[in-house]
Chains A and B, each alone.
Chain A
Amino acid sequence: MKTQHYQEGDILIIAPQGRLDTMHAPELLKLIEQLLSNRPRGCLLDLREVTFLSSSGLQAILASAKISNTNQINFGVFGMQDMTYDVFTMSGFNKFIQSFSSKEDALANLL
């Protein structure tokens, strides 16, 4: 899985590509854990290029949200494709993880 990451001001943006499944989610979580140890003010997952999300991918997102919460890092996701957004909402993640339609929206409103 190819993943890019960069800063927008004091917000860390992490953009994985492809399938966020049982084969690739652990490697993404490892990267996120490493990047969050630098304690950015906020962290956004850019999911525009994620074409598939399984429960392993959800677990990586949940673990990232928990680490962020513990370290007072504002955490959110943006740009989910329709079917990945379905998985996200059916799991109830939309109730405790901020999700935005676009990067601009996310950067303007991340709490």
Chain B
Amino acid sequence: MITIDLSHMKESLSLVEQHLEKLSQNISAKQHYTASFICEEILTNLARHADFKERGTAAILSMEFISTTGSLLLTFQDNSEPFNLLDFPDPEIEAALEERELGGLGIYLTKQYAKEIQYRYESPYNILKVRI
């Protein structure tokens, strides 16, 4: 388990990479890339949009390699107000350059990459599980 300080993103993402390196004997290069991608997208979106009130902007991330299926399970847990990142509307992927908006891609791509993705709120925690 990694405790992520969302107010120090550079150090947090570096910590994520260190943990992914430790798993690199088990996971494929593609899983490593995808996990790195998803962690950045989820954590930066939590940092920007989650409402932590006075509780301190921290999240707990765990990474579990499941040998029977060869998949990697990422679990993000935070105690912000109930907040489901999966509710973000998908961007207009077919839009032309002029109409294309700058935001919304990270969560959209996370959904595309995930074999399985689930959000639930168990007071006081938001729990997001992503299997890749």
Measured CB to CB, the closest approach of chain B to A83, in angstroms, equals: 5
A22 at the interface (CB under 8 A from B): yes
Q: Contact string, B29-50, partner A, CB cutoff 8 A, digits 1/0?
A: 1100100110011001000000
> By the criterion of a CB under 8 Å from any partner CB, how many residues of chain A are at the interface?
22
Contact with B along A75-102 (1 / 0, CB 8 A): 0000000010001001110011100000
Q: Are B94 and A22 in touch, CB under 8 angstroms?
A: no
Tell me whether A95 and B98 are in contact in the complex, defined as CB-CB below 8 angstroms, given that A21-B13, A52-B36, A90-B112 are known contacts. no
Task: Let me know if A97 and B109 touch, CB within 8 A.
Answer: no
Q: Decide if B102 touches A92 in the complex (CB within 8 Å).
A: no
**What count of chain B residues pass the 8 Å CB interface test?**
25
A22 x B100 contact (CB < 8 A): no
**In the docked arrangement, what's the CA distance between A54 and B41, Å?**
8
Main secondary structure of the interface of A (DSSP, over half): helix
In residues 32-71 of chain A, which contact B (Cβ within 8 Å)? 52, 54-56, 58-59, 62-63, 65-66, 69
> In chain B, what residue has the closest Cβ to A81?
B33
Q: Evaluate contact between B30 and A83: CB separation under 8 angstroms.
A: yes
The closest CB in chain B to the CB of A66 belongs to B97
B10 near A23 with CB under 8 A, answer yes
The answer, yes or no, to whether B96 is at the interface (CB within 8 Å) is yes
By a beta-carbon cutoff of 8 Å, the part of chain A in contact with chain B is 21-23, 52, 54-56, 58-59, 62-63, 65-66, 69, 83, 87, 90-92, 95-97
